[in-house]
Amino acid sequence: MDHGEHQIDQITDRAGFLVALRALKERSGLTFRQLAQRAADNGDVLARSTLADVLSRDALPRPEVLAAFVRACGQGDLVAAWLRARERLALAALVPAPEATGPAPAGDPGPAAAGADDRGEAPTGTDPADGVVSGGPVAATPGTGQRKRLLALLALAATALAAAVGAGVRLAGEQQRDTSMTEVGDNLPAARTATGATSTAPAGRVRIRPARTPGLCLGEGWDRPGGYRHEILVQRACAGATPPETDLEPVGDGAFIMWRHPVKGDGCLTIRGDDPGRFLLEPWEDCQAQRLEQVFRFEARADGAYRIRSARGSLCLGIRDDTTGPGEAALAEPCADSDDQAFQVDPAPETDATS
Residue in 61, 46, 44, 34 with CA at minimum distance from that of residue 168: 44
Between the alpha carbon of residue 20 and those of residues 7, 12, 108, 164, the distances in Å are 9, 11, 42, 20
The mean pLDDT value for 48-54 works out to 79
Give the integer Cα–Cα distance in Å for 235 and 341: 12
Give the integer Cα–Cα distance in Å for 202 and 344: 11
Which range is most confident: 114-128, 168-182, 226-240?
A: 226-240
3-state helix, strand, coil in the chain (%, to 5): 35, 20, 45
pLDDT at 83 over 50: yes
The mean pLDDT value for 233-241 works out to 92
pLDDT at 283 over 90: yes
pTM above 0.75? Answer: no
Asked if residues 198 and 297 have their Cβ atoms less than 8 Å apart, the reply is yes
The pLDDT of residue 220 is 94
CA 229 to chain centre: 17
Residue 304 CB coordination number (10 Å) = 9
At residue 242, the 3 state secondary structure works out as: coil
User: Could you tell me which residues come within 8 angstroms of residue 284 by beta carbon, excluding any fewer than 6 positions away?
Assistant: 176, 177, 267, 268, 270, 294
pLDDT at 234 over 90: yes
The pLDDT of residue 271 is 95
334 cis-preceded (ω within 30 degrees of 0): no
Instruction: Report which secondary-structure segment, H or E, holds 158.
Output: helix 144-167
DSSP annotation of 53: H
- CA angle at residue 254 from 251 to 255, to 5 degrees? 60
The pLDDT of residue 142 is 42
- Which stretch of 182-186, 260-264, 295-299 has the lowest confidence by average pLDDT? 182-186
The pLDDT of residue 4 is 75
The pLDDT of residue 157 is 56
- Which stretch of 108-112, 249-253, 255-259 has the lowest confidence by average pLDDT? 108-112
The pLDDT of residue 264 is 86
The mean pLDDT value for 17-32 works out to 91
Cα first-last separation, the chain: 61
Asked if residues 279 and 270 have their Cβ atoms less than 8 Å apart, the reply is no
Residue in 197, 200, 180, 182 with CA at minimum distance from that of residue 248: 200
Asked if residues 176 and 170 have their Cβ atoms less than 8 Å apart, the reply is no
Write 282-289 long-range contacts (CB < 8 A, 24+).
282/230, 282/231, 282/232, 282/233, 283/174, 283/231, 283/244, 283/259, 284/176, 284/177, 285/174, 285/176, 286/176, 286/177, 287/256, 287/258, 288/181, 289/251, 289/252
Domains of the chain: 1-100+112-171 (no CATH), 195-353 (2.80.10.50)
At residue 186, the 3 state secondary structure works out as: helix
Asked if residues 279 and 271 have their Cβ atoms less than 8 Å apart, the reply is yes
Instruction: Report which secondary-structure segment, H or E, holds 254.
Output: strand 254-261
pLDDT at 218 over 90: yes
Give the integer Cα–Cα distance in Å for 52 and 166: 27
